[in-house]
Each structure stands twice: as structure tokens, then as C-alpha cells.
Structure 1
């Protein structure tokens, strides 16, 4: 019997690919005096390439952009600060996010989140999606001092929810950091499909968050 459902954030609840596109288009417009000499699509494509779906932190991304495009007028530190301040205003949820979370709570399930990333930055994005209130626990790697796929961060979350691994499922888009890592501690691993991977081994596979309800009582 499943008593708790835990989620990853980026690529699972937050449509990070679309959020990044929205943000970087907006940044290009707002900072046009700094980056306007670069064709819009060139700047945007390079940012997305360097970002590597969020697995490269933006200090490295902006240092590279400043060097490659010979940007003047703003330092990479100032560009990074702009990212930290503004990204939350461009968060795009996946379809059926709120309705799925509401349904899980109506079933009296415990709901948790484990996300890698910077603490305040990730919390700002969670609040921007309007979903913080649905979660009984939220663990963010920077504040926990450990990150997925370390089994300890999963065990810590389960302890806070007061459920066993066998009573829990974890939903995420990354084959190793989410699905396999959750399975390694005894949880059901649910893969939220992402085009980057063709197919992976998981207990369940979903295209849409609403499909989770099919696996619950």
C-alpha cells in the first residue's frame, strides 16, 4: 500500500526546458544594451547549450558567455544575479500539476520533494509554482549537504514523512538520480518521460502527472 509520493522538481513538476527559454528570451530583451550586438537566437542557443539542462551552474555559463561574446557593461557576477532574481518569474508548470497534488492530498497521502540545486533558488521556484503548501517535506540538496543519487537524502525524506521505502514512490525524470536511486533504497521508481532518454527501466512510466493516479488506491 502506497502511503507517500515524492517528487523531483526540475523536469518533473517544473517544465524547466520551457522555463529557461522564457527566461533567456526575457533576459535578452531586458539587457539588450549589453547583449543586443549578438543575434537573439545565437545568444539563446548558446545559453541553453552551456546550461546542459541545469547540470552546469550558471556561474560557469555566464563566465563563458562573457568571454565568448566579449560582453561589456555587466560582469558575469551581475548576469548571474539577474538569473537568480528573475528566473522565478518565468516558471512553467507541467500540465495537471496542481490538480494532481490536490488529488494526492485528498487521498490522505504524504507528499514530499527531493531536489538537487541551490536552496533559496529552488525554494523561490517552488513558491512561484504555487505548490509549497501541498508538501509535507521538501529537501533541497544545498541545504541538506547531500544530493541525489545519495541514498541518505531519500532516507532522510522518508524519515520526515514517517513512512517506509516500501510504502513510497518517487517520481522523477532522471534515470539514475531519480528512478534508480529511489529503487536502490526500496522505493517504487516512476519515470516522468523526457525526450533526452528513449526508454529506461522503471516500476512505472508516465507522460503526464495525472497518470500517477492510476497507480494509487
Structure 2
């Protein structure tokens, strides 16, 4: 069975987040002191900071959203006010959800070869389902597992092993493809899977895991790994 990450692997999350942040800044620039570039840098930093707290079970999914907004606009905002502002950003972010160009051809090819496909993602289960639905690839996957429902996040080996159990497949017979070296590729390797690093940004390789630079390379790599 082949499991995939979602954000920055299937969904062009970086582009969607940046475009959403730009539009959000244009809407509220009179309420903040940041230039567009400064705002994007600040937004990305806050997103990473508070999402990590969510993954560590220090904040709820909703609270990590609220904290981003309150850090930007001030902690005088109550939860309802913060939610309204974040929901405005969320609508802009969602409007920019797109797959990478290599995603659907890859998934179609794997299905033709009768591979079972699954998802293992850090994040909120309902939001990740919504992403798969809106970018029209939900139907490719037999099993969808997220950190919010499992109570543990990548790179902890448990989430990979639980996903295999849920899919009724052996860990050592499963593959995992993701864009983060430590979190995805090495994390899944430590769990007993074959980890594959989807390194879209450069030609760096790594001695401990298989590396591809596009999902167009995946079918050939799987043949080589089975040989």
C-alpha cells in the first residue's frame, strides 16, 4: 500500500497559503503595521509556531488559529472576533487550493497498477478531508488517517503503524511519500515502512531514503525498489 502526505505533497499548500495571506493583508492592512512581505513572513512564522503547539496537544485546532490572529492584531480581541478574522483568511486560503500538476496523473497510474492508496497527515481530520474533496482526489484513497484522530503526529512511528493497522496492511510492505525529510521519509522509515522523500525544490539526495523530485518519477522508483 502507498500512503501520501497532503500539504506540499499533493496540495500546493505553500502557494495557497501565500496567496491567501496576500489577499488577507490587502483587506486588513490599515489595521496592521506590516508591509506585504513583512506580513507574509510574520504569518508563516506564527502558523508554524502555533501549529506545532497543536501537534503537541498544547492547543486545540481552533485555539491555534485564534492565537495567530491575536498575535497579529492584539490580545484585546475576544475569541469570536478572532474567529471572524481567521474565517476570512480561511476563505481566501481555500480559494487557492490546487493540486500540483503531477498529482492526478500519478494517482491514476497507481490505480491502474492496482495499488491501494492512503493518506497519513498531520492536521485536523475534517479540514484534511475537505482539502481532498475540494481538489477532487478524495476518491483515490482507501484509508485516511490524521494526527487529530490518532492523538499522535508524524514523525512519531505510532501514527504510521496505526495507519497500516487501520488499512489492514503490513508496515514493512507499505510505502510513504512526503515532502519533509525528517517528518515524512525518515519518520516512516523508522516506523518500518519504505520512506520516499518528495524533494520538489532542489536536486539534493539523501543516503538514508529514496528521493524523487516529482511524482512523475514514482512509478519507476517503485519498480526499482521491488527489483
- Range of TM-score over shorter length: 0.7 to 0.9
Map 1:195-210 → 2, pairs under 5 A: 195=201, 199-210=205-216
Q: Is the 8 A contact 2:195 2:209 kept in 1?
A: yes
Change (3 A) 1:9 1:146: same
User: Could you tell me how far 1:163 is from its partner in structure 2?
Assistant: 2.0
CA distance in 2, matches of 1:103, 1:160: 24
**Residue 51, structure 1, aligned to residue 47, structure 2:** yes
Which residue in 2 is equivalent to 1:132?
Answer: 138
TM-score by length of 1: 0.83
Which of 47, 61, 64 is residue 71 of structure 2 equivalent to? 64
CA distance in 1, matches of 2:99, 2:52: 19
User: Could you tell me how far 1:141 is from its partner in structure 2?
Assistant: 1.1
- How many residue pairs were aligned? 211
Which of 21, 28, 42 is residue 38 of structure 2 equivalent to? 42
User: Could you tell me how far 1:170 is from its partner in structure 2?
Assistant: 0.4
Change (3 A) 1:93 1:163: same
Map 1:99-118 → 2, pairs under 5 A: 99-118=105-124
Which residue in 1 is equivalent to 2:18?
Answer: 21
User: Could you tell me how far 1:125 is from its partner in structure 2?
Assistant: 1.5
Change (3 A) 1:40 1:203: closer
**Structure 1 stretch displaced more, 52-61 or 174-183:** 52-61
Q: Is the 8 A contact 2:201 2:213 kept in 1?
A: no
Alignment RMSD (CA, Å): 2.9
Find the residue that maps to 2:2 and give its secondary structure.
Answer: strand
Which residue in 2 is equivalent to 1:155?
Answer: 161
Cα distance per residue 1:17-76 (max 9 Å; x no partner): 1111111122234x34754775333323321233239646433322211139x99xx933
Q: Which runs of 5+ in 2 are unaligned?
A: 54-63
Q: Which runs of 5+ in 1 are unaligned?
A: none
CA distance in 2, matches of 1:207, 1:128: 25
Which residue in 2 is equivalent to 1:96?
Answer: 102
Q: Is the 8 A contact 2:32 2:73 kept in 1?
A: no
Q: Is the 8 A contact 2:154 2:183 kept in 1?
A: yes
Which of 104, 120, 123 is residue 126 of structure 2 equivalent to? 120
CA distance in 1, matches of 2:205, 2:189: 16
TM-score by length of 2: 0.80
CA distance in 2, matches of 1:12, 1:52: 17
Q: Is the 8 A contact 1:179 1:189 kept in 2?
A: yes
CA distance in 1, matches of 2:201, 2:219: 22
